[in-house]
Chains A and B, each alone.
Chain A
């Protein structure tokens, strides 16, 4: 593990002081768990969990051509994205492969992007190469990122940042919190209602203390973050998505906006539009695995003859369902829910069925919804 001081996250000591088990992730020591993954997972679904996701890349894209420049590498309709609104999008290669998945927010005169920690350096290099001259890309290395997730997140955060309860899902705004000006959005990676808080690294420990001092909040590690997002059906870059998968294969067609489908003008459009029209040869699906043994990333999908026709890209045990669940790429004829899927892991055969995702219903705070 490289413990070079410049590769420690702002809350490194904070996690260790709370008994976290640290592991290397995205090049940083990060907390995989505190009290235990199952307990942390359930706590997040029942109350509220605080996640440190400061490893993620926070980027500013500014300049008169920023919108146009980003639209050349993202399939999102940024022209209709309103102030303070977030859009889930995909950074695309010319062949339609996914370079990264990200959140883009229109924020005043610039766009604010949150990209994956393990891919941020590559994203910055790619964006630098592809964005037009005059567009300024700033990597906000001095910002930390916290996520407060769960059904009680809103009441806790509104105690310290009144007004956050007014935010709808996938919107954000500037708030005062713990003596700092922070950016809070109603978004997350658990399927629960919750918030993501971008704040100065120097204030991260004070804000983390403030929130975890509330009886509803416990710190949650990366282990539960992974099991929560799997139940929520949300893909993880580097596992369920990579440069060999396209948005349509990944079942992320919703991220390719209507205007952009019609007009094109973004990397990979030709392949993506063909896959929209003709259907992809394979697709990411959810799997409900029979029995109790988890099937994990790397297990293969086989046909009746035992030949490999796909692969499991994420898999584990669902704490809420009490059964094994997985995501896999399967051939196009096998994507309908209920289809029988045969898997092989370490020489052993497992039976599974294609299952709708999310595995556990989302509970986002959508305005106008009950």
Chain B
């Protein structure tokens, strides 16, 4: 499975024509303790760079953007129940939603792990 990253600190893990989206470890570290997430409902069309979810830490609310266009096929109910999963396992159990890719070519504009690491180190 290929994993890509955005400049807004989302990750997207691609498996065939579906993909899983979440926020990066760097993002959760910046946000601090996460106390609430609002996830997109199944069937919703999300667009590249468009608001797809909301994450609230003790400090502030932040938007989570979809890295690509697609249709949401599943939201992570476990994360809704326990938002701290986004702190403890952001790139695993703390995933946000799954989508069906509308245009695979959009993945080409995203960063791979090495490039994202360099990007965060420059932040």
Contacts and interface: CB of A to CB of B under 8 A. Distances in A.
Contacts of B83: 292
B33 interface: yes
A33 B32 contact: yes
A293 B56 contact: yes
A223 B35 contact: no
Contacts, number: 36
A317 B32 contact: no
Interface in A110-132: none
Nearest to A323: B35
Interface string A314-334: 001101000010000000000
B38 A38 contact: no
- From B32, B58, B59, residue with most partner A Cβ within 10 Å: B58
A296 B59 CA distance: 10
Interface residues of B, number: 12
Contacts of B33: 36-39
B45 to A, nearest CB: 19
Nearest to A294: B56
B61 interface: yes
Contact of A293 (B38, B58, B59, B60): B38
Contacts of B60: 296
Contacts of A32: 59
B116 interface: no
A54 interface: no
Contacts of A58: none
7 contacts: A32-B59, A38-B33, A293-B38, A294-B36, A294-B56, A316-B58, A346-B61
